[in-house]
């Protein structure tokens, strides 16, 4: 079992990954910036070590990693993934400066591997499933900052020989997801017999259950690392339209009302084609999205019912 560091563990995927690492018997250390909401860390006190560190502070980040001496570092801290996170300075501090600082601290601390978190938004709008060698065309400030972090990790890994693979995540969903996002809003409304405001029914996403995403992180850390700067798409390879998602939820939670399509305006990144090409991660790491959408939504419904204390609104 390894000594592992997780950044961004107060976030959705990071909180799930921290729990997965604990369940697998790892020694888990969390780097958390002061002021972060910590409701997702309920029940972890006494099981993890929490270090107050702002990744924008390079010296503090290096000091923390030298003291912890981790074998594996999982970098999930980010800003700008949610529509209400629009401050460019915060995106740059977290996604560019923070990523550069944690990568350099990994080298200074002697950690064996760092898994970086990228985003499918780095590709920009495509009319097909892009593979990892395709030119990136980010079309938002968030996507640009995430692409910069990916490129820095790729360059640093290849120059140093220390593996720093990047996982380009598609639409991850499941327990502890941020209130205000599609899946938790959709399920909570349907559990009340209603629908939330909905955008164009033809909008598509490639949904991946968070348990599968956590498995991808563990496989990426374990390797093999033939290319220390590898980039892997983490997606199912199947896109689901918003209409198909609503029909799946209706099958699980019968709702008599009809959805009010277009009651939420489309966002600039909404598109009718958003799907991954997961062949490389399957070939390199043996990873595939194993959880069907139906099963993943069932698990998420059960989790929501079991956690009435979890925030149902971001307000």
- Residue 315 clears pLDDT 70, i.e. is over it: no
Model pLDDT, residue 270: 83
- Residue 26 clears pLDDT 90, i.e. is over it: yes
- Residue 141 clears pLDDT 70, i.e. is over it: yes
Q: Collect all residues with Cβ–Cβ distance below 8 Å to 173 and sequence separation of at least 6.
A: 181, 182, 183, 184, 207, 208, 209, 210, 296, 300
Contact 145, 77 (CB under 8 A): no
pTM: 0.96
How far is Cα 202 from Cα 200, in angstroms, rounded to an integer? 5
- Residue 93 clears pLDDT 50, i.e. is over it: yes
Give the three-class secondary structure for 116.
strand
How far is Cα 47 from Cα 42, in angstroms, rounded to an integer? 11
Query: pLDDT tens across 106-121, in order?
Result: 999 999 999 999 999 9
Can you list the domains of the chain with their CATH numbers?
3-170+209-234 (3.40.50.720), 172-206+237-276+290-306 (3.90.25.10)
Tokens standing for residue 271: 């598109």
Tokens standing for residue 200: 């164009």
């Amino acid at each position: 079992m390894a000594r592992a560091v997780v950044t961004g563990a107060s976030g959705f995927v990071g909180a799930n990954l921290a729990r997965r690492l604990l369940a697998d018997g790892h020694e888990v250390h969390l780097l958390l910036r002061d002021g972060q909401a910590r409701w997702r860390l309920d029940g972890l006190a006494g099981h993890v070590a929490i270090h107050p560190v702002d990744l924008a502070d390079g010296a503090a980040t290096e000091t923390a990693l030298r003291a912890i001496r981790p074998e594996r570092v999982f970098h999930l801290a980010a800003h700008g993934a949610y529509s209400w996170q629009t401050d460019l300075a915060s995106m740059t501090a977290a996604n560019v400066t923070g990523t550069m600082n944690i990568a350099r601290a990994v080298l200074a601390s002697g950690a064996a591997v760092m898994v970086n978190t990228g985003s499918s938004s780095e590709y920009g709008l495509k009319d097909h499933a892009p593979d990892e060698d395709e030119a990136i065309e980010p079309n938002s400030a968030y996507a640009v900052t995430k692409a910069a972090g990916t490129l820095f990790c790729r360059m640093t890994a290849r120059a140093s020989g220390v593996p720093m693979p990047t996982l380009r995540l598609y639409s991850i969903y499941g327990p502890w997801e941020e209130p205000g996002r599609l899946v938790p809003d959709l399920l909570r409304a349907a559990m009340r017999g209603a629908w939330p405001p909905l955008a164009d029914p033809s909008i598509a996403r490639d949904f991946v259950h968070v348990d599968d995403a956590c498995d991808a992180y563990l496989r990426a850390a374990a390797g093999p690392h033939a290319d220390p700067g590898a980039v892997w798409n983490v997606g199912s390879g199947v896109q689901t339209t918003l209409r198909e998602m609503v029909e799946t939820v209706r099958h699980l939670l019968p709702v008599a009302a009809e959805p009010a399509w277009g009651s939420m305006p489309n966002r600039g990144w909404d598109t009718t084609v958003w799907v991954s090409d997961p062949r490389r991660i399957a070939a390199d790491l043996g990873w595939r999205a194993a959880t069907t959408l139906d099963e993943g939504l069932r698990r998420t419904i059960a989790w929501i019912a079991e956690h009435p204390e979890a925030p149902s609104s971001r307000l």
